[in-house]
Every structure is written in structure tokens, then in C-alpha cells.
Amino acid sequence: MAFAPLTGKKILVTRAAHQAGKLSSALRELGATPVEVPVLEIQPPQDPAPLEKAIRRLDTYDWLILTSANAVKAVIESSATMGATFGHAALPLVAAVGESTAAAARDAGLAVALVPENYVAESLVDAFLKRQNNVTGQEFKGREETGADENFASERDFSRAEQVGVLKGHDFNRAGEAGALKGHDFSRAVNAPENEGALAPEGSLADQHILIARAAVARDVIPDALRAAGAIVDVVDAYRNVMPEAAPQLLRAALEQGIDAATFTSSSSVTHLAEAAKAAGIAFPFAGVAAISIGPITSHTLRESGWDPAAEANPSDIPGLVAALARYFGSA
């Protein structure tokens, strides 16, 4: 069996309680024992006004970027609460950062126009530029999605979105504007060590007005990269990640029983686990525990926290994270 190295391993799962099931189930199927210590709890933004204002003026944007399934849910639920209705010509194109986010958006009735191949800033900008400049006859590094004939499993229950019916059947086939400016300086777009040396995509996103719905206190890598490409970018807090009160106690109990590896699915999972450890009086990073990261941004946050990741998922999704675990224990 390819994943036999996971048999008997105790793996810390730090995802929010409502999202831990997919990862925990995958680990159990491969013989591991998931130890769930949710260090994230999703709550509305402290000030909902900016998100509500952005939703009211969605027709002024060319693109809406959704950065997570939680962002999708927040946008849909806020729209429903406001009683917002949108006409065919009033909505921006939708880009989703990752397939699980795209799946959640489709489940909510949104047509996803773009999913970058990799979950890092330059890949998203590159995908935007190639679509914007109507690149033809070349391999497209991002994927333009119609959402009509693909059925990805969503990590969230979006049954409410179907009842709301917001945006169902919207036609997103709008023609992109051309206007390339060769040799644009993207030095600001890539500011994490793992992205150093990446080739800057050619072109410009000048006059493109982009709205990003994301978690509060998220990193500015993506908006900075888009602004460096010439886009006008607005960022709104769609939700907050807070640490559950029970996290320190649960963490203490988990470490007492022994943990072989800790999984991290976002930068917030790193910082919140560090907060939980501090509250529990536990040294962070954890001695003898391997850190497994879902992607380069999360890995960068781990390194900033003094914990070198033992393995990194590729692709940056839950199956990729499980595969990274198996590779690590297979070679350990």
C-alpha cells in the first residue's frame, strides 16, 4: 500500500471544527490517527459595513477574487441578509484561489471564470494577465472554468446558498480588454523567499478594478502583486479567524498523548497554534513533531515562527497535504 508509512501515526489537525472532517477522514483511511485541535473559529468581521458596501457596488468591479470557502460563504450570506439582487450585466467575473474555493463558489451558484494553477501571488497575477491579454496558441498556466460540467466536492455545506438562489445561472462570458505594457516591473509582487527568482509575467492590469474578499489580518501578497501589475484593488474583510477558548486545553491533552506531525492549512493555523501553545505554557515549536505545510505562504509563516516545515504539499490542497505526510514518513 502506497501510504503504509502513515499507519499508526498521530497527526495533529488544526483546522476549524467544521472543516476538519475532510482531512481527518483522509488520514483515517490511510491508517493514521487524527488528533483534532481546532485553533480557528470563523466569525463575522468586526465591522461588516465594508463588505456590505462592496456587495452593493459589485457592478463597479471587473473581478471578484474569493480566497477561501469561508469567503464564499460570507459573501453569499451577507448578500442574502441584505436582500441583494444582481442583474446579468451587474456582476464581475469570479476568480477562486484554489479548487476547494472554486467548488464552494459553484455550490453557491457562482460561475468561476478563473482558478490559478498554484496558490501563490505570481501565479494568480500571471493567470489574470494571460486572460487579459487574450494569449492564444500557448499553454495557459491558469484554468478558465465555466463550471458547467465539473463537479468538485465542496468542504462546506452550502445548502443555504441554493435556497438563496443568488447569482444562479449568471453569464460570465465577458470579453477581456487588451492593452499589454511590456516589461512591467513586478519587484513588489513577489515578497516571500520561496518566490524569489520567479519570472514576472508580461502585460498590465491597468484599469482593472478588482475586489478581494478574504479573512481579516490576511497577508498582503496577492493585493500587492495585483497592484504592481497596475490593477485597482479593494480588499474587504469577509470574516475573522479567532482562536477557540478550548484550544489551549485541547492542545495540552494532545501533546501529552504524543504527536508525530502537525498539519497546517493556512498561515492563521500557524499563528493561532502558537497562541494556543503560549496560553497553555507549551514551548513552540513542538520538539520532535514534524510540521507539514499546505503551501509556500504557510511554509513562510512557519519559518517566521521558527519552525522549518518538514514537507510541503504540492498541489496545495488536502489530498496534497496527505501525500506530503506520506512522503515525509516514507523517507524518515
Instruction: Look at residue 302 in the predicted model and tell me its pLDDT.
Output: 97
Burial of 53 (0-12, 13-18, 19+ CB in 10 A): exposed
C-alpha cell at 123: 501565479
227 and 263 fall within a common domain:
no
Provide block-wise average pLDDT over 10 residues at a time, the chain (332 residues). Answer: 72 90 92 94 92 92 92 91 62 86 91 81 80 49 32 28 32 30 31 34 79 84 88 94 93 96 93 96 96 92 97 90 93 64
132 and 234 fall within a common domain:
yes
54 and 116 fall within a common domain:
yes
Instruction: Look at residue 171 in the predicted model and tell me its pLDDT.
Output: 31
3-class state of residue 119 by DSSP: coil
β-pair type (93-96, 232-242)? unpaired
204 and 130 fall within a common domain:
yes
Question: Is residue 295 a contact partner of residue 316, using CB atoms and an 8 Å limit?
Answer: yes
Q: Classify residue 44: in a domain, yes or no.
A: no
Domain termination site, one of 240, 261, 296: 240
Q: Domain with 8 in it: what CATH number? A: 3.40.50.10090
Alpha carbon distance 307, 237 (integer Å): 28
33 and 71 fall within a common domain:
no
85 and 228 fall within a common domain:
yes
Q: Classify residue 101: in a domain, yes or no.
A: yes
182 and 85 fall within a common domain:
yes
83 and 55 fall within a common domain:
yes
Q: Classify residue 79: in a domain, yes or no.
A: yes
Q: Classify residue 145: in a domain, yes or no.
A: yes
210 and 265 fall within a common domain:
no
Q: Classify residue 155: in a domain, yes or no.
A: yes
C-alpha cell at 35: 488528533
Q: Which residues contact 259 (CB under 8 A, 6 or more apart)?
A: 10, 11, 12, 35, 286, 289
Residues of the domain holding 252: 4-39+243-331
177 and 252 fall within a common domain:
no
- Three-state helix/strand/coil letters over the chain: CCCHHHCCCEEEECCCHHHHHHHHHHHHHCCCEEEECCCCEEECCCCCHHHHHHHHCHHHCCEEEECCHHHHHHHHHHHHHHCCCCCCCCCCEEEECCHHHHHHHHHCCCCCCEECCCCCHHHHHHHHHHHHCCCCCCCCCCECCCCCCCCCCCCCCCHHHHHHCCCCCCCCCCCCCCCCCCCCCCCCCCCCHHHCCCCCCCCCCCCCEEEEEEECCCCCHHHHHHHHCCCEEEEEEEEEEECCCCHHHHHHHHHHHCCCEEEECCHHHHHHHHHHHHHHCCCCCCCCCEEEECCHHHHHHHHHCCCCCCEECCCCCHHHHHHHHHHHHHHC
Burial of 298 (0-12, 13-18, 19+ CB in 10 A): buried
Instruction: Look at residue 52 in the predicted model and tell me its pLDDT.
Output: 94
Instruction: Look at residue 203 in the predicted model and tell me its pLDDT.
Output: 67
62 and 203 fall within a common domain:
yes
Q: Classify residue 24: in a domain, yes or no.
A: yes
Q: Classify residue 113: in a domain, yes or no.
A: yes
| Domain total of the chain | 2
259 and 149 fall within a common domain:
no
Instruction: Look at residue 18 in the predicted model and tell me its pLDDT.
Output: 84
Distances (CA, A) of 142 to 115, 117, 123, 232: 6, 5, 8, 21
Domain termination site, one of 175, 206, 240: 240
